[in-house]
Amino acid sequence: MKRFFAMMIAGVSTMAMLAGCGNSAATQETEAPATETAQTTEAAQSTEAVAAPAENVKIDKLTIGFVPSREPDEIVTATEPLKEMLTTELAGLGYEVGEVDITVGTSFEAVGEGLSAGTIDVGLIPGGTYVLYDDGCDVILTATRNGLSIESPDPKVWNDEKPTSASDAQVTFYRALIIAGPSEAGQAVAAKVNAGEELTWEDLDGLNWSVMNSSSPAGYIYPSLWLQNNYDKHITDLSHTALSDNYGTAFSRLASGQVDVLVTYADARRDQEEKWTSEYARTASIWDETNVIGVTDGIYNDTISVSKTSPIMDDAFKAAITKAFINIGNTDAGKEVIAIYSHNGYVEAKSEDYDSERAAQQLIMSLQ
């Protein structure tokens, strides 16, 4: 049933040309995810020691699936060192892994489907994707990430204090932003926000939007909840939406004026800053040409989840993978690899941590 719902939601997205992370429903407000600062990964490593098997266990192949929240080629290149890191860590925990295969799904849902089918053993997926597919996978870790220099629900603050920079604080949540670009319509709504004026539904509905697929927290679910809470509307109510397969595509469209606004994770402009003037051929900086017009509630961080149906996955191997990723996240080399997803380390997770995501998905279902 969960898989059917995911396919149904994806179909709605395609019909409406949507994508991303938002969600909304009638007049309900969702419970905001935890926004407290997390312990550092070092402190979080005080988990119970994982006992190695009495004899080494041989695993022919371990398949790791990544969602396409960045350009797939970037992810594959950046995560190449992860293969050796995992092989080494797991060897120390009693598992001889012959091959670590890293794949990037064609969509967020494709990775969830792979986990459910057992063709992907371990997935680095957002909370929204985990919730959609939790009948076929278990969450083992939540990512921690560097906080940002700006932490406010007020879009004008993000504009007054830009550019955004990283802070030293480690957090287990992030926000999604609705960002207006350099088009005439995008600049007009940004000017209203910066003048302290409230945007109307007509202002928003007149824009061309770029959104991500329907299980993306920052690119669909939470922006949609923002629309619901503020305008009693949903992404599907917008007149002009375009589905982007990844955030690079979304920012390229924003730069060219194909879309007026996009929805994305809060530090995405830091990731796209160089490309804005090189690949996207803008002459002014991304900070000069973009403005925030909406800020969502906090979103619980990405997960590392493991397949329930994979033939190689049992409780002991699950515990070893958990320990291996925590160890990798506590090294400088490991942090460099997982930075592709803005991760800085990992803490152990429970299914209940993502109950707010479940509430968001229930709101989506209530709209169908």
pLDDT reported for residue 355: 86
Domain identity same for 68 and 206: no
pLDDT reported for residue 54: 64
Domain identity same for 295 and 307: no
Instruction: Report if residue 84 sits inside a domain.
Output: yes
pLDDT reported for residue 92: 96
> How many other C-beta atoms lie within 10 A of the C-beta of residue 330?
17
Instruction: Report if residue 33 sits inside a domain.
Output: no
Instruction: Tell me which residue range forms the domain holding 136.
Output: 41-145+302-366
Among 299, 317, 336, the domain-final residue is 299
Helix, strand, coil shares of the chain, percent, nearest 5, are: 45, 25, 35
Instruction: Report if residue 27 sits inside a domain.
Output: no
pLDDT means per 10 residues, the chain with 368 residues, are 43 33 31 35 47 82 94 93 98 97 95 98 94 96 92 97 92 92 98 98 98 88 90 94 95 98 96 97 97 92 96 97 97 94 92 85 70
Domain identity same for 361 and 268: no
Domain identity same for 213 and 270: yes
Instruction: Report if residue 28 sits inside a domain.
Output: no
Task: Report d(CA 25, CA 360) in Å as an integer.
Answer: 9
Domain identity same for 258 and 319: no
Among 299, 330, 351, the domain-final residue is 299
Instruction: Report if residue 316 sits inside a domain.
Output: yes
Q: How many domains does the chain have?
A: 2
Task: Report d(CA 161, CA 169) in Å as an integer.
Answer: 18
Domain identity same for 48 and 76: yes
Please, what is the angle between helix 355-366 and helix 222-231, to 10°?
60
Q: What is the CATH number of the domain that holds 165?
A: 3.40.190.10
Domain identity same for 216 and 246: yes
pLDDT reported for residue 359: 78
Among 268, 299, 330, the domain-final residue is 299
pLDDT reported for residue 63: 98
Task: Report d(CA 182, CA 167) in Å as an integer.
Answer: 28
Domain identity same for 294 and 313: no
Domain identity same for 55 and 100: yes
Domain identity same for 164 and 277: yes
pLDDT reported for residue 367: 60
pTM score above 0.85 = no
Give the tokens for residue 55. Answer: 């004899």
Domain identity same for 259 and 227: yes
Instruction: Report if residue 338 sits inside a domain.
Output: yes
Using CB atoms within 10 Å of the CB of residue 35, give its burial: 0 to 12 exposed, 13 to 18 middle, 19+ buried.
middle
Give the tokens for residue 362. Answer: 């229930």
Domain identity same for 87 and 212: no
pLDDT, tens only, 137-188: 999 999 998 899 999 999 999 999 999 999 988 888 889 999 999 999 999 9
